[in-house]
Amino acid sequence: MVPKEGELLKVKINELKEKRPVEGNFLATKREIAVGKTGKPYLMARLMDATGEVECRGWENAEVLADCFAKDDVCRVKGFVVSYQGKLQVNISQIASLPEGEYDLRDYLPSSKYDPNDMIVELDAVIAGLPDPDVRRLLQSILKEGGEIRNLYKIAPAAKSMHHPYIGGLIEHVLSITKVADFVAGHYKVSKSMLMAGVILHDIGKIYELSYRRGFDYTDHGKLIGHITIGAEILDKAARNLDSFPDEKLMEIKHLILSHHGIYEYGSPKRPKTVEAIVLSFLDDMDAKINAVETLIENDLNEGNWTAYSRMFERFIYKKRPDMYEGEGGGPAPEQEPEPVKAPVIESPKAKEGDSNSDKGDLNLF
C-alpha cells in the first residue's frame, strides 16, 4: 500500500519500506544520546516488534525526544524510513511511552511458532522414555510441574540475537536436538540417557542469564556468572535434593554442561572428554547454525538467489531451498542407486577472542 502525501503508514517492522513515513507502536530496546562530528547531540534508539528490530535516529531535539521514553518502554512512534549503509533506519520525529495496560508485550517480542505448553509436554515424553531411572528422576525433578525452572524454561530464548532469539527459543532448540540425538544414540555407542541429559540441561542456565520480559538482554547474573556456571549450579542443587544420586553420573552430566561449547575460545571451561560430550557439542553447534542461516534466508529482502552479505557467517548465502529440487518437498524422488556416503572433512573453526557471555565471535552461536 502506498500512502497518500502526508499520510502516515501503520506497519510492522518487517513491512517497512524506504522513503515512507511510518507510525506505530514499538518496544524501545535501546535509548542513548550520542554527539555528532559537529558537536550536536542526536538520539540513538532501537525499536522492536514481533517481526524484527530496526535502528532509529532522532536528529532534531534529541534530548527532548529522549526524555519522552525509557529503554524497554512500549512507545508510539512517528518517523520516516531511510536507507543507511544498505539497511533500513527510521528517523524519529515523535516518540512517547504508552501507559501500562494499553498494550500486550507479546505483540512486541518475537515468539516461536510452536506453543510452549505443547513443547514442554513433548519434552516430558522424551524424559519419561529415558532408560536410566536416575537420569529420568533427576530431569523430572528439575522440570517438575509448577516449578519456576519449568515455567521459565518453556518461554526463555536460546540466545539474545544469534540463534532461536525469541520467546520459546530455548525449548525449541532443545527439542530439535533431541530428535537428532535420538538417532545418534541408536547409531553410535552412546548412552542415550546421558546424551539426552546433556541436551536438556546444557543451556538451562540461560533461563537466568537472559532477560526476556521486556526485550532481550543479559541479566547481571548472566554477565557476571554466565549460563554454563549457572547451569552447573542448577544441576548441583537438584542432585543434592534427591536421595543418593550417583556421584559418577552427576560428574558426567556436569561435564556435559561445562564442555558443550567445545573449545576454550568459545568460553568452554572444559573441552569435551566423553563420547556423549563430543556428540553434544557438535549437535548444539549444528542446530544453532542451521537455525541462524534459515532465519537469515527467511528474513532476507534481496531479490534473486543470494542473501545480502552476512557478517555472522562472513559470506553470502545461497537461498535455494530443498523443496525447489525434484523429489524434495515437491513430489516423490525418482528411483536410483544411492551413491556411497563419504565421511565429511571437519575443519577446526577459526577462533576469535571475545566475551563468552556475548553472542559475538567467529560463528560462536551458543
Looking at the structure, tell me whether residues 234 and 97 fall in a common domain: no
Q: Which domain holds residue 314?
A: 303-335
Looking at the structure, tell me whether residues 144 and 286 fall in a common domain: yes
Total-model pTM: 0.72
Counted domains in the chain: 3
Looking at the structure, tell me whether residues 93 and 241 fall in a common domain: no
| In-domain check, residue 84 | yes
Looking at the structure, tell me whether residues 149 and 31 fall in a common domain: no
| CA-to-CA dists, residue 231 to 89, 108, 169, 186, 228, angstroms | 38, 28, 17, 27, 5
Looking at the structure, tell me whether residues 98 and 174 fall in a common domain: no
Looking at the structure, tell me whether residues 203 and 316 fall in a common domain: no
Looking at the structure, tell me whether residues 118 and 144 fall in a common domain: yes
| In-domain check, residue 317 | yes
| In-domain check, residue 366 | no
Q: Which of 292, 315, 348 is the last residue before a domain boundary?
A: 292
Looking at the structure, tell me whether residues 330 and 257 fall in a common domain: no
> Who's near 364: CB < 8 A, 6+ residues apart?
261, 265, 266, 267, 352, 354
| Cα radius of gyration rounded to whole Å, the chain | 23
Q: What does each of the 366 residues of the chain score in pLDDT, given as a tens digit?
A: 333 444 445 678 888 999 999 999 999 989 999 998 889 999 999 998 888 889 999 999 999 999 999 998 999 999 999 998 888 999 999 999 998 888 877 788 888 889 999 999 999 999 999 999 999 999 999 999 999 999 999 999 988 877 788 889 999 999 999 999 999 999 999 999 999 999 999 999 999 999 887 778 899 999 999 999 999 999 999 999 998 899 999 999 999 999 999 888 888 899 999 999 999 999 999 998 998 888 888 877 778 889 888 888 889 989 876 666 666 554 434 444 445 444 444 333 333 333 444 443 344 555
Query: How many CA atoms, within 13 angstroms, populate the side-chain half-sphere of residue 122?
Result: 16
Q: Which of 239, 263, 292 is the last residue before a domain boundary?
A: 292
CA dihedral 226, 125, 112, 290 (to 10 degrees): 70
Number of H helices, E strands in the chain: 11, 8
Looking at the structure, tell me whether residues 45 and 85 fall in a common domain: yes
| In-domain check, residue 147 | yes
